[in-house]
Amino acid sequence: MQKFKFVTDSSADLPKEVAEALDISVLPIGITFGTETYYDGVDITPAEFYEKLRNCTELPKTSQLNQYEFEELFKQYKGSGTALVVILIGSQMSATYSSAVRAAESLGMQDEVLLVDSGLVTFALGSFVIEARKLADETADLNDLRAKIEELRPRVKLYAFVKDLKYLRYGGRLSAASMHIANMLRIHPVVTISGKVDVVSKQIGVAKCYRYIFERAKQEADLSYPVYFGNSDCPEEGRLFEERFLSEVKGAKSFGVPAQIGPTVGTHAGPGCVGVVFIAKK
């Protein structure tokens, strides 16, 4: 049997205990507030990030992983017989994937490294990594695993709603007038990910956001897989959303460890974002 080592980046918002249990290496992305740079999951926690975000006058900036960082990791496995499976933030959202490609090429490790442009971010990426890691336990070689991962990738679906539009406004993704109107009418965007984060619907009130997401899951989800939940610094609302989802979507089973949406997406979504990831039917 082929040995595999899984790698992702911290934009996956993979819970630390899950990464450790599954032996998944997580490369930290930098987040800069003014002149201060922190590394996601290393010297700043999600709670600390949101505390700083609430008090900042200018949105922080996230950095991409560079070629050198990937080379330092990859060279540890060169010629070891262990294949690296590197599943990263979507290339439309970051140049991290292209840095990994250059690193594998510079070390001549193209046959030892499976690089996956996930097209995903936050706990959609984390969920994909977890499910891909499970596939490795029943896979004989890298080519077989590649085919299974490629089949799984488009089936990973995220739906979440953004409660506070202020951070979309700060980041230039929403005009002041649009934010004012949306706040007056209590309109919340429901987002999904298809290469990048897209607004898939606009709903009046949180209850209708819930209903929209529940209905999409009922129509689309393959409930033989676990369902993954995540939130941005609102664990109580996240817990209530999960309870409602599991009572509404009959047969759904929770993965059990909620994800905390970190800096890469949290910078623009802000606190109060709640959502779900599931694997869609074939």
Taking only the tens place, the pLDDT of each residue in 115-159 is 999 999 999 999 999 999 999 988 888 999 999 999 999 999 999
Say if pTM beats, i.e. exceeds, 0.75.
yes
| CA 107 distance to own-chain centroid | 28
What confidence tier does 95 reach under pLDDT thresholds 50, 70, 90? very high
What confidence tier does 179 reach under pLDDT thresholds 50, 70, 90? very low
Domain 156-279 has what CATH class? Answer: alpha beta
Tally Cβ neighbours within 10 Å of residue 22: 14
Cα pseudo-dihedral 23, 24, 30, 33, rounded to 10: -80
Examine the pLDDT at 183 and tell me if it is beyond 90. Answer: no
- Closest Cα partner for 266 from 227, 243, 241, 234? 234
Distance CA 252, CA 243 (A): 11
Cα pseudo-dihedral 16, 209, 120, 57, rounded to 10: -70
Contact 10, 29 (CB under 8 A): yes
Examine the pLDDT at 177 and tell me if it is beyond 50. Answer: no
Higher pLDDT, 199 or 156: 156
Examine the pLDDT at 212 and tell me if it is beyond 90. Answer: yes
Query: With 0-12 CB in 10 A as exposed, 13-18 as middle and 19+ as buried, what is 200?
Result: middle
Average pLDDT estimate for 218-229? 98
Higher pLDDT, 1 or 226: 226
Q: Which residues pair with 280 in a beta bridge?
A: 221
What is the CATH T-level fold of the domain 3-154, as seen in this structure? Rossmann fold (3.40.50)
What sign for the dihedral angle of Cα 106, 110, 112, 114?
positive
Contact 121, 193 (CB under 8 A): yes
Strands (E), the chain: 3-9, 24-27, 30-33, 36-39, 61-62, 82-88, 113-117, 156-161, 187-193, 197-204, 228-231, 259-260, 274-279
In the chain, where are the structural domains located? 3-154, 156-279
Domain 3-154 shares a fold with domain 156-279? no
The residue behind tokens 């695993």 is 145
For the chain, the helix, strand and coil percentages under 3-state DSSP, each to the nearest 5: 45, 25, 30
- Among 50-59, 171-180, 249-258, 267-276, the least confident range: 171-180
Helices (H) and strands (E) in the chain, counts: 11, 13
* Residue 195: predicted pLDDT: 84
